[in-house]
Amino acid sequence: MSHNNITIIGNLTEDPKIVAFESGSAVTKLRIASSRSKRVTDDKGKEVWEDYDSLFIDVECWGQLAVNCGASLKKGFPVIVEGSLVNEFWQEGEGDNAVTRSKVLLKARNVAFDMNRFQLNSARTTNSGNSLDGHEAVPVMDLDAVLKRLGAEVQRAPSFDDADEPIASAEDLEPAGAPF
């Protein structure tokens, strides 16, 4: 069996959405926009970069990666995501009107911040940190701390299928000391 390993570099199109499960595990969903760029000449004869071949893809992060992404990322942040492409299937409608739908999804193994335009503070999830000189240390957050920080009521879903919608969104987060 082969795996479709892929790395995508792009920007988050929306704030991460996190769901916690009764087991204590979590999933964070991201949506990434990625495109190639080429230099073209605009109407005034000036060379500018133009995007083409745009790709929008949904990403799932599980376990500690889900918690760390929920604590650290928000809309517009540049990321590098490595993982496997999978198909997700679901049914719409009932009986004779039932239709099987599908989409391609990237299950992330690694998510990194693209450092071309930013500097970061960081914190290890083992409580040892690394902060830039002159900046406060970033506190390490567990799942409950991330959910609390997002202002979410902790309504744990028994499974992902039982969650009507994500219980938290990062849009109300204040930056945790990074990026600058």
In a domain, 57, yes or no: yes
The pLDDT of 68-87, averaged and rounded, is: 94
In a domain, 167, yes or no: yes
For the chain, the domain total comes to: 1
Residue-level pLDDT at 40: 94
**pLDDT tens digits for range 41-77:** 999 999 999 989 999 999 999 999 999 999 899 999 9
157 vs 44, which has greater pLDDT? 44
Long-range CB contact pairs, 121-125, < 8 A, 24+: 121/176, 121/177, 121/178, 122/178, 125/64, 125/67, 125/68
Other beta carbons less than 10 A from residue 27's beta carbon: 22
The rounded distance, in Å, linking the Cα atoms of 32 and 58 is 6
Q: What is the CATH number of the domain that holds 9?
A: 2.40.50.140
In a domain, 177, yes or no: no
Q: What percent of the chain has pLDDT over 70?
A: 70
Residue-level pLDDT at 105: 94
Domain that includes residue 29, residue range: 5-172
Listed range (9-13, 60-64, 129-133) with the worst mean pLDDT: 129-133
In a domain, 178, yes or no: no
The rounded distance, in Å, linking the Cα atoms of 177 and 139 is 10
In a domain, 179, yes or no: no
In a domain, 73, yes or no: yes
In a domain, 102, yes or no: yes
112 vs 175, which has greater pLDDT? 112
In a domain, 180, yes or no: no
Single pTM value for the model? 0.69
